Amino acid sequence: MRAAIHLLSVATSACLASSAAAQNLYWNLDDTFDGVANPDGPWSYGTLDPTYTIFTPAWTSQFQCESPAWLTTNYAQLWRNMCPGFVTGVAPGQLAMSPSPSGEPFVVRFVVPADLPGPSMTVHAVFLPGDSGTPLVAVRHDGQFNFLAPGAGEALVTFNPQAGDAIDFLVFGVASRGNTPVQLSVIAHIWCDPDINCDGNADQDDVNCMVNAIAGCEARTST
């Protein structure tokens, strides 16, 4: 029995590994951002109205050193520092978000894909100290703040979203010098069914199926 349980555990792990290889489970803004497309895959860039209900996309621009950027009409921004040295508290190569001079938020939005491979997602948001201002930094989902902090902070939040849900990362609420370096990523958790042979049961037949598949034989159930 212990051997069977161990093999079922191995089978489940193999199922998880094979599913992970077949799915795009990890999205990192730093790998995606180029200042060219908005939206860009599941990511989009813009601002929210004071009620946090209307999202307005930003428009592309460039800063000094040809740093790519997205700007709102009130100059809230997301940009990457391409200069050789620090600029307003942002290190070379870093992405940074900043509210507008009037405190309007800049928002990085992640829209949950329709082909979400599992029931939950975890967002990892790192808001680093940047310029001398102290903006508010936040993560929102389903109409509520799941993380809110002054100036800097790190959020690790797990949701059970629906396809099409928006997960928002915000920097807002300071009049000037609010550049905040950010590291934003989202992980979708695979749901793996141990019923490998799809007969409606998780049992020894599933172990046999996986063992046969690993051995290179045709998957089959026991008789």
* Whole-number average pLDDT of the chain: 83
Q: Return the structure tokens found at 155.
A: 């959020």
**pLDDT band at residue 7 under the 50/70/90 scheme:** very low
Report d(CA 183, CA 122) in Å as an integer. Answer: 14
pLDDT at residue 28 greater than cutoff 80: yes
**pLDDT band at residue 114 under the 50/70/90 scheme:** confident
Q: Is residue 217 part of a domain?
A: no
- Asked if residue 172 lies in contact with residue 104, where contact means CB atoms within 8 angstroms, the answer is yes
Q: Is residue 130 part of a domain?
A: yes
pLDDT at residue 218 greater than cutoff 50: no
Strands (E), 21-92: 26-28, 43-48, 55-57, 59-63, 67-71, 77-80
Residue 101: CATH number of its domain: 2.60.120
Q: Is residue 42 part of a domain?
A: yes
Question: Quick one: residue 34, left, alpha or beta (phi over 0 = left, psi -120 to 50 = alpha)?
Answer: alpha
Residue 210 has what pLDDT? Answer: 62
Sign, CA dihedral 182-171-44-20, equals positive
Q: Is residue 206 part of a domain?
A: no
Q: Is residue 195 part of a domain?
A: no
Q: Where are the alpha helices (DSSP H) in the chain?
A: 2-22, 29-32, 204-214
Residue 148's DSSP bridge partners are 138
DSSP state of 219: P
Q: The domain containing residue 100 runs over which residues?
A: 23-189
Interval 70-92: pLDDT, tens: 999 889 999 999 999 999 999 99
Q: Determine the average pLDDT of the residues in 123-151.
A: 95
Q: Is residue 158 part of a domain?
A: yes
pLDDT at residue 191 greater than cutoff 70: no
- When divided into structural domains, the chain yields a total of 1
DSSP letters along 83-119, please? SSS-BTTB-TT-EEEE--TT-PPEEEEEEPPTT--SS
Report d(CA 36, CA 38) in Å as an integer. Answer: 7
Q: Is residue 8 part of a domain?
A: no
pLDDT at residue 215 greater than cutoff 60: no
**pLDDT band at residue 6 under the 50/70/90 scheme:** very low
Q: Is residue 212 part of a domain?
A: no
DSSP state of 54: -
Instruction: Pick from 61-70, 179-188, 207-216 the range whose average pLDDT is largest.
Output: 179-188
**What percentage of the chain reaches a pLDDT higher than 70?**
77
**How large is the angle between the packed helices 204-214 and 2-22, nearest 10 degrees?**
60
